[in-house]
A and B are shown apart, each in its own frame.
Chain A
């Protein structure tokens, strides 16, 4: 048994040493070049989009803020949404930052940072509404985007609150407008649509509750542990300084 344990321990140490070598190599290369290469699909406003000859958005500014904290400059590499993980796997960039929701099935090959935005569903009401939480939706009218995730969740809620009236509308904006027009008591939409709409409509508020969690996180290759550690460190710093919220508020405008 002891011999077996010794073999296991030796194997573990060898694997650890191999992993450390690769991890150091990646971070060392970044530190040596002074450049953090970031992959993204620039078709997802307000997180990333092309504007004339440049790319802009929350992920772009966040990448620059993180790189600045790390003493690096940024280089953006663009790829279609379907190929983003593949681009990272083959080393076309060091970090994937493109509104990516962590996928547990990919954790064998990739590691995810702490989340920096929740894009899940939120409940929106008028600022003067008595609704303060989901449980108070019984006997109310709820506007949703026809066919979207909010509609599916609202249908589930109807089992819990049979008196809940669900009003499917053509878009998330239409659902939010219905709340503003008082034809609905609340709307259940994704947080991005909500934030964009609310930036121009202070009469509406997000009920202080994330109905579903769809976190956006940065992605690195699984062996790049040092890079991940440093990214998490500066991400926390950027969040605590208020810079992250400042970036989000800047781009979440109509």
Chain B
């Protein structure tokens, strides 16, 4: 009985594999003849921070060019750079700038910015904090606002959920690791982070600059703290002066020009994807 079932299953599987295999190999190339002439498959690999956004951009690109398939794979920025160099991927993804020895033969295209700022309640008298003060607050060495020229009130330190790109940026900026952070509470969602500060004059949290600026402009009682004297805003992220920000980059090879890759990069850097960028809490580039 068992053997009969097993054999039957196996036959079905093998048949399915054969049929599936035959169907696929020529489907994208010949089955469709889209009007714009773009056909084929694009493979992107690299940064896991950029991958969810890239997958959404790819999906929208596929809708506009039915003959194209965009496959997004992850594995980290270094892998993205390596894969595009070796030709294993058409486009690499990186959430850090390239090192000098990685750049020859490659072109980088910034598709979005990942910027993070610290925010407090609008009624908090503290207008700015130095990097040392911020570090001391987040590692539990300063626990009262009066130590940084504020009111006599305990500081409610709010950290972000592990694995978020904000945490990566902040720990990298202060050269600490996540266990070094001594937080009173953890905020996962951006909205949760905003609410934890807008409802508590003694709280401090960090989150996406795009979201913070948007909420502050809407009248939510929060204040974006400057960093190294640079005001926290989308503008300073875009002109590269805000220190707590990084570009999200797509990388292409110079020696193998392809109309498909060019079209995709043009699309990924166009204003057509701004809403997708914002949905992932990143800052869209200037167009």
A binds B: no
Residues of chain A touching chain B, judged by Cβ–Cβ distance below 8 Å, are none
